[in-house]
Chains A and B, each alone.
Chain A
Amino acid sequence: MRKYLVLASIVLTTAVVAYVTTYLGALGPLGLDTRYLAKLFLANTYNPAHRELTAMSPEAVTSIVWDFRGIDTLYETVVFYMAIIAALAIYRGVSYSNVRRGSGLSLIVKVVTKLLIPINIAVAVSIAAHGHLTPGGGFQAGAALAVVSVLLAVVYSAHSFVELGVNLSRAVALRSAGLLAIALVVFTPIVISALTGTQAYLMQNYVKVDSAFSFPAHVQSQLISGTLIWFNLAEFLAVSFGFFIIFMLLSLREEVVREWVGKEDEH
């Protein structure tokens, strides 16, 4: 009972303080105009007239994530890579091949989940492939596909990963393939310009004032926004299989893991 009194007093206090602040005008008038920087990004996100400035994508957030502030995202991906490596290091030596068959949940739940999983995968791929046109992208699609790993682990038990042929080394390989694809797209302008004797920048998307290199913005009049679609698809692989690894390890039975952890202490 006491906690509801405390809660009511917190909610009331914020309301009263907000009223007093507004009455006194302490925060000043509301700003209705966005900042100059925001206008710059918004005006250049899809602007065919200024090819040296634009990202050629109607989606301003994806443009910033992978073009205007691309290096930022590149290093965020590195942090993500390190976090998963650290989690794998705790479980070093744990093998996924001798997982016993678990019972999972009831038949009804299993059948419904079997219908839901293909839909979930289709939605995730669609979010990734249309990330440069509509809200979405590699991070969103990766998080959406990671839900499949949770469904598999909870509804069918950890053994279902083995049955589907997704073991730890394959998941790590798919994740590394995604990261390699990102590196490939990042270094392509440098390599091609070095071969042709011109100059280019890391993560360059289109022509710049002093560089002629450009990824194609359209393929047969379909807008693919240069590097954005490739980055989205690669990040989709990296993020989704990174989370697959985590939930595969989390769904292991505690006895199996303890065996390995105990073994290591004896050495």
Chain B
Amino acid sequence: MSTSFLENFLITLTLYNILATAGISLYGIVTRPSVTKKIISLTILGDTFNVLAIFIGFRVFSVPPVLLDLDGSVEKLTTFATSAVDPLPQALVLTAIVIGLAVNLFLIFLALQMYRLYGTLDSRRIRELRG
């Protein structure tokens, strides 16, 4: 079984769209002056790379990595092992999303503290402050 030209094109297009999204969010982190906007871009960048990791484990014509029959026969296990998608990226991304949320929430707390101390969240103005 092989894939057609259209299927190859759609998979490649998805890959390039994800990479372009990563590029745009990186552009947002670097060039936008507001710290809030930098945090928004950072969350998008993290999500995009998580999706990219799962996309790498994806295979066309496959099923989710959850076994449905529990009788433990060898034929069913073999079918499952050859037809399911790669579960390893999913397991790594699962923890990465929750840890990423906790770390980004800490960044939000830091931004709040920055506003309390400097009175602004504009990174250009914070750079001019002397203190």
Contacts and interface: CB of A to CB of B under 8 A. Distances in A.
- Determine if chain A interacts with chain B: yes
Interface of A: 10, 14-15, 17-19, 21-22, 27, 29-35, 37-39, 41-43, 45-49, 58-61, 63-65, 69, 72-73, 76, 79-80, 83-84, 86-87, 90-91, 134-135, 137, 139-140, 142-143, 223, 239, 242-243, 246, 249-250, 257-258, 261
A243 B108 CA distance: 13
A14 B24 CA distance: 13
A65 B95 contact: yes
Nearest to B64: A135
Contacts of A45: 65, 67, 87
Chain B interface extent, by class: 35 or more
A32 B81 contact: no
A223 B109 CA distance: 42
Given A49-B72, A76-B99, A83-B103, A135 B66 contact: yes
B126 interface: no
Nearest to A43: B81
Contacts of B88: 37-38, 41, 64
A114 B106 CA distance: 29
A61 B103 contact: no
A61 B65 contact: yes
Contacts of B11: 30
B102 A83 contact: yes
A87 B84 contact: no
A15 B9 CA distance: 9
B51 interface: no
A139 B108 CA distance: 21
B105 A87 contact: yes
Given A17-B16, A79-B102, 6 more contacts: A18-B16, A32-B60, A35-B86, A58-B67, A135-B64, A143-B101
Interface in B25-68: 57, 59-62, 64-68
Contacts of B62: 34
A43 B78 contact: yes
A64 B95 contact: no
B65 A60 contact: yes
A34 to B, nearest CB: 5
A215 B1 CA distance: 43
A242 B86 contact: no
B12 A34 contact: no
A42 B70 CA distance: 13
Contact of B82 (A37, A39, A79, A249): A39
Interchain residue pairs A-B with the least CB separation, the first 10 = A58-B67, A64-B91, A60-B65, A60-B87, A83-B102, A38-B86, A18-B13, A43-B81, A42-B81, A76-B95
